[in-house]
Structure 1
Amino acid sequence: MMQETMEKRANRTVGKSRQKDFFAVLLFFFLLPYTCSSVVRAGQEKTVETIVPVSGRTVRMQSGSDVRTMTEEAFLIGALAAVIPAEYEPEALKAQAVILRSSCVAGGHLEEAVLENGMTGAAQESISQSSVSAVEPRIIDSNSGFSYLDKAQRKRLWGEQADVLEERCREAVRASSGYVLEWQGAAVSAPFFRLSAGRTRSGTELFGQESDWCKSIVCPVDEAAEDFLQEKSMKTERFFGMLEAEGVSVEKDAPKLVLTRDSAGYVLNVRAGRSSIEGERFRQLFELPSSCFFLEEQGGKMVITTKGIGHGIGLDQYYANALAKQGASAEEILELFFPGLLKKTE
């Protein structure tokens, strides 16, 4: 069954634009529930900070009914802080910054800006919308697949270490300026997640040849992570009731679930008779940290054991940090996960 499923997926042909949009949705739909971040809400405190614009490009972000314009660098600092522990190694942070910048480019969110006052040095994080003359980029909103923490949120998150960690994020963005990930001449929205189940998933296996650039690699250190194995249990009756509410009909007399996995061990779908539910939807339904999970009924309870954290596709942040500790550069880390994609555009 698994081979048949994989063959069907491998034969699926997807255009470039559709593929890029899919990964943008993937980042938002699968990763956001497992981060501490959110797009800035309306009415939140706005903190003004000074940022030296390296690229000269801007990002427009919607907050409630307001739209703010900020420098690319200012946005990437807040986005970086939202999706990866700032305590991670500098080279791991730089690799993540490249991925975020690439997603901005792929999504059409960056645009060259010329300020009316001719300012080319220090710029504020929040720039008056009326002071910018540029072709409007696509606005980043809650559906764009990005997380962002403003200066006040970052201070609350980091506490006494705020100044140190702020500078780490700032330096990662500055040091990676101009670098993006490109495939066949176009920037890609490369996926990322926190911790694998032992290896990352294959883009080709899941989505076909259009995603051949997203490789499956072994991540040997992940099994030693503190949160690698997690367990959740509930009454069997409640478990099957939740599945039935999702349209998965389970035989009362002899309930049997069949799990189909990909080569990395992540669940593609859970089948009961003629009905089924996709692995990622199952993960969301039962609020699991990973779609690499195992089911076992014990004494009237269903025990769900998971491996790793996140969807398992793309950059494994935990392994990237381990590689950085061993001396790997951001370029080497990105080459491992996305071979041949790193490009300098400025």
Structure 2
Amino acid sequence: MRAKFKKFGCYVIIIILLPYVVTVFLNGPSITSYSHVDETYVKVRVADASGDEVAGGDDAAGTVVEMPIEEYCVGMLAKEIPASYEEEALKAQAILVRTDVYKKIHESGSDTVLEGDFWTQKQMEKAWGSKYSKYYHKLEEIWSETEGQVLNYGDTLALTPFFRLSNGWTRDAKEVLESEDYPYLKIVECPEDIEAEKQLQTVTVDDMDVEITATDTAGYVLNVRVGQENVSGEEFRNTYKLASGCFTIQRCNGQIRITTRGIGHGLGLSQYEANQMAKNGKTYEEILQYFFEGTEIKEVAEILLDTE
């Protein structure tokens, strides 16, 4: 009886597989048209857990290794945006990261060494503690669900800057970059950012001869005079480790009080505002269109093929 059942089972399997076998015999095995570009490898300059570049390797400035683009970009997501944020905000960020990486590769060639900082799994474990597994799986899912998607403007990959928190408005690329090439990077309102806990921060430094000499339309500092020298607002911000490029300067009790608004340079997508938009039901497509008006989401394989 058992032998009869086995024989019957074999007949069923043959019947089920027969159409596929005939098709393969006549036409050859089918090939999926989807290009899994996120499975490719990239060259990355690796840093240790402290953020210092690893000594040695092919370059005196650090060790260059190859790793899957997914591992690298998930590490960038982990470092650049809170993993606790809403999924739609994280998807928008994932597309910005992927676009930036492929833009660098496309413009500089396949031998490009990516310098963008990212978190290794050990750094994620240290930062997230008991939530490591939950957050890592979440970011992997976000990356997978947006696989291959990039932001495009016209026939090129878009410039995709982002930052943590605006002063209530994003900036215009014409003023920041002094270029007409990025019409999709313009001033948009971020009302939720104004209410954020870290909207205002203050730093006190030693007294000096300093004056803000130019700001842009959104209120971010373009130029600062320090003594006889003129420096950009971003250079001044980096020198004094200010939270934002939007700041004011006041003298108080023989010192200089610098008050900042927002966190970051203010150009492109505000992560905090994007997260609030996601909480209010906006999709990642709507979020990206709000901050990068006129761009469209495409498959990176399609873009790269069109430009070859």
TM range (shorter): 0.7 to 0.9
Secondary structure in structure 2 of the residue aligned to 1:327: coil
**Residue 235 of structure 2, aligned match among 281, 286, 292:** 281
**Counterpart in 1 of 2:263?**
309
Q: TM-score, normalised by structure 2?
A: 0.76
**Counterpart in 1 of 2:132?**
162
CA contact (8 A) 2:212 2:249 kept: no
Pairing of 1:1-346 with structure 2 (within 5 A): 55-63=38-46, 64=54, 65=57, 66-108=63-105, 136-140=110-114, 144=115, 146-206=116-176, 207-236=178-207, 240=208, 250=209, 257-271=211-225, 275-345=229-299
State how far apart, in whole Å, the 1-side matches of 2:269 and 2:276 are. Answer: 12
- Counterpart code for 2:248: F
State the 1:136 CA deviation.
4.3
State how far apart, in whole Å, the 2-side matches of 1:75 and 1:284 are. Answer: 26
State how far apart, in whole Å, the 1-side matches of 2:71 and 2:235 are. Answer: 34
CA contact (8 A) 1:62 1:68 kept: yes
State the 1:235 CA deviation.
3.3
**Counterpart in 1 of 2:10?**
none
Secondary structure in structure 2 of the residue aligned to 1:312: coil
CA contact (8 A) 2:152 2:298 kept: no
Secondary structure in structure 2 of the residue aligned to 1:209: coil
- Counterpart code for 1:82: K
State how far apart, in whole Å, the 2-side matches of 1:166 and 1:287 are. Answer: 30
State the 1:272 CA deviation.
6.1
User: RMSD of the alignment, in Å?
Assistant: 2.2
Secondary structure in structure 1 of the residue aligned to 2:113: coil
Superposed CA deviations along residues 73-107 of structure 1, whole A, max 9, x for unmatched, are: 22211111011000000011110000010011100
| Structure with bigger RCO (C-alpha 8 Å, 6+ apart) | 1
State the 1:274 CA deviation.
6.2
CA contact (8 A) 1:290 1:311 kept: yes
**Counterpart in 2 of 1:245?**
none
State how far apart, in whole Å, the 2-side matches of 1:226 and 1:160 are. Answer: 25
State how far apart, in whole Å, the 2-side matches of 1:177 and 1:335 are. Answer: 19
Secondary structure in structure 2 of the residue aligned to 1:107: helix
State how far apart, in whole Å, the 2-side matches of 1:258 and 1:148 are. Answer: 34
Secondary structure in structure 1 of the residue aligned to 2:132: helix
CA contact (8 A) 1:109 1:139 kept: no
Q: TM-score, normalised by structure 1?
A: 0.68
Aligned-residue sequence identity (percent) comes to 37
- Counterpart code for 1:175: E
State the 1:224 CA deviation.
1.1
**Counterpart in 1 of 2:305?**
none
Instruction: Select between 220-229 and 204-213 the one with higher mean Cα deviation.
Output: 204-213
CA contact (8 A) 1:233 1:302 kept: yes
State how far apart, in whole Å, the 2-side matches of 1:184 and 1:158 are. Answer: 39
**Counterpart in 2 of 1:48?**
none
State how far apart, in whole Å, the 1-side matches of 2:157 and 2:181 are. Answer: 14
Flag structure 1 segments of 5+ consecutive residues without an equivalent.
1-52, 111-134, 241-249, 251-255
State how far apart, in whole Å, the 2-side matches of 1:214 and 1:191 are. Answer: 9
- Counterpart code for 2:88: E
State how far apart, in whole Å, the 2-side matches of 1:152 and 1:257 are. Answer: 43
Report the CA distance shift for 1:153/1:272 in structure 2 as closer, same or farther (over 3 A).
closer
State how far apart, in whole Å, the 1-side matches of 2:38 and 2:226 are. Answer: 53
Paired residues in the alignment total 250
